[in-house]
Structure 1
Amino acid sequence: MKYESASPEEYISQLPEERREAIMKLRQILKDNLPVGFQETMSYGMITYVVPHQLYPPGYHVNPDQPLPFVSIASQKNFIALYHMGIYMVPGLLAWFKEEYPRHVQTRLDMGKSCVRFKKTNSIPYDLIAQLSSKITVDEYVRMVESEVKRAKKN
C-alpha cells in the first residue's frame, strides 16, 4: 500500500496499530545504527535513508533530482518491507545476512533483490537489522554506486 505523506511521522500515523509499532521500531533502529551521513526523508512513498545531495551532488542516477537512496522501510499490502541496497550490491553482505537470518527468527527468509519482506510483525529480526544497518558507510556506498554506474555505461 502506498501512503501519501510529507513526513515519516505523517506516514506512521496512517498505519494500522500493529504495523505502526513495527515501523516505528525499525525507524528507530535505522536512526540509531546507520553510519553518520545518511539522512531520513520520504521517497517513493516510503521512509527512506539517503545520501543527501550535500554529500553526493549527482544524486540518484535514475533521477538526479532525488538524493541517492540506501535503505527504505514501508508498509505494503501484505507485509512490511525493508529495502537495503547494500544486500543488493554486496554479495558478501547478502551471504552474511542469509546465514545470520535463521539464527534470529524461525520463519523462512522472504526476499527479492533488495527487499526483505516480513508478513508477521513478530518475525522481524530487529537485532539483525541493527547489525545490517551499521555495515556500510556513506563513503563506501557512494564508491560502490559510482563503480556500478561506470560499469553500466561501458556496457
Structure 2
Amino acid sequence: MTIDATTPDDYISKIPEERKPVLSKLRKIIKANLPKGFQECINYKMIGYVVPHEIYPDGYHCDPKLPLPFINLASQKNFVAVYHSGIYADKNLMEWFVEEFPKHCKRKLDMGKSCIRFKSMNDIPYGLIGELCTKMTTQDWIDLYEQNIKKNEK
C-alpha cells in the first residue's frame, strides 16, 4: 500500500480509519522514546525517523541526498509495520527483541530482517516498541551503520 503524503500527519490522515489510532499511538510512542537527534519525516513513502544531514552529512549510502534512515512506520495492505534498521544491523539487539516479544504479546512474532509486522491491531506491544526505541542513540546508529553496512560498499 503506497501512500503519497508530505508530512506524518498527512500520512495518518490517508490510511484506513481503523488503523489511524494504531499508527498514531505507535508514532507517539516512537517520538517519546527515541533519543535526541533523530528527526521525523516522510521517508520512502512511510513515516520515517532518520539521522538528519546536520548530524550525519554523508546521508544514506544508497542515495546520499537522503538522510540516514533508522525507523519507518507504515500501514501496509495486510498489516502495520515497524521497520527498525538497528535490529537488522545489531545481532544482540535482535536477540533481545525476539526474547522479549513473547513477554509482551500473545501472538507469534512475525518479522523479517528489519520489519516487525502486526496483523492484529488489538495485540501490539506498545511498551516493547517504546523500549526498543531507547536502545540506540544517533551516534550508536551511525557507528553501527558505518561498521556493518557502509563498509560493504567500499
TM range (shorter): over 0.9
Mapped to 2, the partners of 1:141 and 1:23 lie a distance apart of 24
Counterparts of 1:12-27 in structure 2 under 5 Å? Answer: 12-27=12-27
Contact 2:89/2:149 (CA < 8 Å) preserved in 1?
no
User: Which residue of structure 2 aligns with residue 116 of structure 1?
Assistant: 116
CA 1:147–1:20 in structure 2 vs 1: closer, same or farther (change >3 Å)?
same
Question: After superposition, what is the alpha-carbon deviation per residue over 1:23-74, rounded to whole angstroms, capped at 9, x for unaligned?
Answer: 0000000110000000000011100000000000000000100000000000
Asked if 1 retains the 8 angstrom alpha-carbon contact of 2:104 and 2:128, the reply is yes
Could you tell me how far apart the structure 2 residues matched to 1:64 and 1:100 are?
35
1:17 Cα deviation after fit: 1.9
Map of 2:128 onto structure 1: 128
If the length of structure 1 is used for normalisation, what is the TM-score? 0.97
- What does 1:6-17 align with in structure 2 at a 5 Å threshold? 6-17=6-17
Q: 2 CA distance for matches of 1:59 and 1:30?
A: 22
Give the 3-state SS of the residue equivalent to 2:36 in structure 1: coil
**Which of 143-152 and 6-15 deviates more?**
143-152
Aligned 1:3-152 pairs, distance under 5 A: 3-149=3-149, 151-152=151-152
Runs of 4+ in 1 over 4 A off after TM superposition: none
For residues 116 and 153 of structure 1, the distance between their equivalents in structure 2, rounded to whole angstroms, comes to: 26
Q: Does the CA-based 8 Å contact 2:61-2:150 persist in structure 1?
A: no
CA distance in 1, matches of 2:103, 2:48: 27
Segments of structure 1 that go 5 or more residues without pairing to the other structure are none
In angstroms, what is the RMSD of aligned CA positions? Answer: 1.0
- Structure 2 unpaired stretches of 5+: none
Q: The residue matched to 1:151 in structure 2 has which SS?
A: helix
- Helix, strand or coil at the partner of 1:64: coil
Number of residue pairs matched?
Answer: 154
Note the alpha carbon deviations across 1:53-96, whole angstroms, 9 max, x for none: 00000000001000000000000000000000111011111001
Counterpart Cα distance in 2 of 1:106 and 1:120: 11
Q: Is the 8 A contact 2:38 2:49 kept in 1?
A: yes
Shift of the 99–10 alpha-carbon distance from structure 1 to 2, 3 Å rule, reads same
